[in-house]
Amino acid sequence: MLLYYYDLTFLLAILFTAIYVYKWHRRFNVNITVVFILVPVANLGQLMTVYAKSLEAALLATRVNYIGGCFLGYFVLMGVIELCEINMSRVLRLILFLYNFVLYALVMSMGQAELFYKKAELASENGVTYLIKEYGPAHTLFYVSVAAYFAAAIAIIGYTYVRKHQVSRRILHLLVLPELVCIIGFFGGRKVFPGIELLPACYALSQMFYLMIGARLRLYDLTDTAADAMLTNGGVGIISFDQNLIYLGSNDVAKECFPHLQEQVVDKPLCDCDEMRPVREWLVSFIEDEKQKNFIYPRKEGDREMICKVEVDYLYDFRRKRGYQVLITDDTQNQKYISLINSYNEDLKREVEEKTEHIVEMHDNLILSMATMVESRDNSTGGHIRRTSEGVRLLVEQMREDPAYNISDEFCRDIIKAAPMHDLGKIAVDDAVLRKPGRFTDEEYAIMKTHAAEGARIVHEILKGTDDESFKTVAENVAHYHHEKWDGTGYPEHLAGGQIPLEARIMAIADVYDALVSKRVYKEKMSFEKADSIIMEGMGKHFDPGLEKFYVAARPGLEKYYAGLE
């Protein structure tokens, strides 16, 4: 049974190393990376020892085990030194490494000389092989080295905690834990659990703590690839916060703009002082409304008047939002240029607006062309998108006159503009289904119903680059939910009542009305009276009963419009 313990500790070491490799980031500390390599090696040596069938095999396994024993302390200490931002000369690092190399050379002498082990015999108990050893003088040196590395690491962590505010306290707390665990496992494990080596389990547990350190370190990384050039050469200040607005760090440019950052403690809330008030206000504005992300910050640098451009955005860990960052750039020249343009170049502004309108018009025409192309595959007689757009316009015109709804001009514009896009998803429906002249089978109807969700996806892809978020939302909702019913029996999500977006409820009336009074290859057009009867019967079932009065008010206009098409 005890063999399973050593199997498990080795497998855990491999697993944690695999997780580290999966999450590896080029900014990770190289010494911690080496630790993740050495731990499985050390645990493998221990595993080989307990399975050894001869003294030679056990000694070989012990040599493998001591690769970790001799070098782990060194690389852990180097990692602590770098994470604590302690300067250490390369010469001293090299000397310490060579010392460990010599120590391991002494380990290799076991079985051939009496420097490390004077004597070693093979023994077995409960199916577990182990060595009965008589230590030589070099082994005492090994013990001293291990103790010295542990003591040095703890001392450096303690010194950093007291003297260095710019190093994360959370990182320091996490650095202490593997040190303590390994100290207990190395010096006290055999006394507490005779016959069991606790060190392999302690090594694996330490890997877990280092994984936590790696995940946390990426929050404090202010300079990653492209950001390096921007921050170093572009004179960009950056201040980072986690999701709870806890200060994570800032670069030198930001500290020049806000000198109080020199005293700000990492992992603490931003200080409540007048100097930092603008930063707090920017963050609060952005959190309340993501569109409020750009600000102008005038400041003085000596006798020079400066105008800084501030941008607040999320702090990302790959695609995860992990906090917030404030970017500060000297925008003085650009702001003066903008002021000059505003003062003397109104004609240019008007020309830009005209060209922008032209681009938007081209974009709208492209969308309309796509909708027309999709419509040409359907079994309608053509003009469905144009007719439903007019139906939507007549409905919202009546709604605008009712103060209870208080719909905005922007909403009216968006839904009328989005109406032609409601059936874009039909482009993904097979012709055999889409153009079938008769009733659908259950399977065919299920295929046809997919056009709603597919339409929302297509609209999202078409509009994902647009700055007009309100139009994007309305267009997606119209495509996605125009077949939902007030009583919840519609598709694709079976939404009911107020769960259905207002724009989709309006679209549903215009869509069904057009289907009723228009001719299709599989049916004749219906009279206005019969179509009206069906629409009115559907109020409270298919349609929003709150829209009934607007439909009734718009009905004369609808009938006049459709009569004019004949």
309, 329 in Cβ contact below 8 A? Answer: yes
Q: Round to whole Å and give the CA distance between 182 and 200.
A: 9
Q: What CATH code is carried by the domain that includes residue 555? A: 1.10.3210.10
In this structure, the answer to whether residues 165 and 312 fall within a common structural domain is no
Residue 338: predicted pLDDT: 61
Instruction: Please give the residue range of the domain that contains residue 540.
Output: 373-565
On the question of pLDDT at 350 being above 90, the answer is no
- DSSP, res 465: T
pLDDT digits (tens, 9 = 90+) for 255-308: 888 888 888 888 888 888 888 889 999 999 999 998 899 998 887 766 667 788
On the question of pLDDT at 183 being above 70, the answer is yes
The mean per-residue pLDDT over the stretch 387-416 comes to 88
In this structure, the answer to whether residues 199 and 130 fall within a common structural domain is yes
Q: Round to whole Å and give the CA distance between 261 and 250.
A: 8
Residue 379: predicted pLDDT: 54
In this structure, the answer to whether residues 250 and 101 fall within a common structural domain is no
Residue 431 lies in a domain: yes
Residue 26: predicted pLDDT: 65
Q: Which of 159, 158, 154 is nearest to 182 (CA)?
A: 154
Of 1-10, 340-349, 485-494, which range is least confident?
340-349
Residue 366 lies in a domain: no
On the question of pLDDT at 355 being above 70, the answer is no
Name the strand (E) or helix (H) holding 118.
Answer: strand 117-125
Q: What CATH code is carried by the domain that includes residue 303? A: 3.30.450.20
Residue 115 lies in a domain: yes
The mean per-residue pLDDT over the stretch 478-507 comes to 93
In this structure, the answer to whether residues 274 and 384 fall within a common structural domain is no
Query: pLDDT grade, residue 237 (50/70/90)?
Result: confident
On the question of pLDDT at 226 being above 50, the answer is no
Residue 221: predicted pLDDT: 57
In this structure, the answer to whether residues 461 and 402 fall within a common structural domain is yes
In this structure, the answer to whether residues 281 and 304 fall within a common structural domain is yes
In this structure, the answer to whether residues 435 and 556 fall within a common structural domain is yes
Regarding predicted confidence, which is higher, 471 or 192? 471
Query: pLDDT grade, residue 223 (50/70/90)?
Result: very low
Residue 225: predicted pLDDT: 43
Looking at 176, 200, 220, which one is the last position of a domain? 220
In this structure, the answer to whether residues 187 and 241 fall within a common structural domain is no
Residue 353 lies in a domain: no
In this structure, the answer to whether residues 439 and 539 fall within a common structural domain is yes
The mean per-residue pLDDT over the stretch 196-217 comes to 86
Residue 348 lies in a domain: no
- What's the predicted TM-score (pTM) here? 0.47
In this structure, the answer to whether residues 200 and 233 fall within a common structural domain is no
The mean per-residue pLDDT over the stretch 525-536 comes to 91
Query: pLDDT grade, residue 372 (50/70/90)?
Result: low
Of the chain, the percentage scoring pLDDT greater than 70 comes to 84
Residue 381: predicted pLDDT: 44
Name the strand (E) or helix (H) holding 140.
Answer: helix 137-163
Residue 430: predicted pLDDT: 78
The mean per-residue pLDDT over the stretch 136-144 comes to 88
- Counted domains in the chain: 3
In this structure, the answer to whether residues 146 and 245 fall within a common structural domain is no
Q: Which of 172, 181, 176 is nearest to 216 (CA)?
A: 172
Q: Round to whole Å and give the CA distance between 508 and 481.
A: 8
Residue 493: predicted pLDDT: 92
Looking at 167, 186, 220, which one is the last position of a domain? 220
Q: What CATH code is carried by the domain that includes residue 27? A: 1.20.1070
On the question of pLDDT at 349 being above 90, the answer is no
Q: What is the 3-state secondary structure (H, E, C) of 68-103?
A: HHHHHHHHHHHHHHHHCCCCCCHHHHHHHHHHHHHH
Residue 492: predicted pLDDT: 93
On the question of pLDDT at 450 being above 50, the answer is yes
Q: Round to whole Å and give the CA distance between 520 and 98.
A: 88
Of the chain, the percentage scoring pLDDT greater than 90 comes to 30
In this structure, the answer to whether residues 212 and 234 fall within a common structural domain is no
Residue 351 lies in a domain: no
Q: Round to whole Å and give the CA distance between 342 and 350.
A: 11
Residue 128 lies in a domain: yes
What is the residue-averaged pLDDT of the chain?
Answer: 83
User: Max CA-CA distance within the chain?
Assistant: 109
Residue 57 lies in a domain: yes
pLDDT digits (tens, 9 = 90+) for 322-335: 899 999 887 766 66
